[in-house]
Amino acid sequence: MKFFADTAEIDAIRELAATGLLDGVTTNPSLIHKSGRDFMEVTKEICDIVDGPVSAEVVALDHDTMMREAEVLRKIADNVCIKVPLTIDGLKTCKALTEDGTMVNVTLCFSANQALLAAKAGATFISPFVGRHDDNGFDGMDLIRDIRLIYDNYAFETEILVASVRHAGHVLGSARIGADVATMPPKVILSLANHVLTDKGIEGFLADWEKTGQSIV
Could you give the residue numbers annotated as active site?
A: 83
Spatial distance between the Cα atoms of 205 and 193, rounded to a whole number of angstroms:
18
CB 38 within 8 Å of CB 195: no
61-70 own/partner pairs: CB under 8 Å, 24+ apart: 61/85, 61/87, 61/89, 62/89, 63/89, 63/92, 63/93, 63/96, 66/90, 66/93, 67/93, 67/96, 67/97, 70/97, 70/102
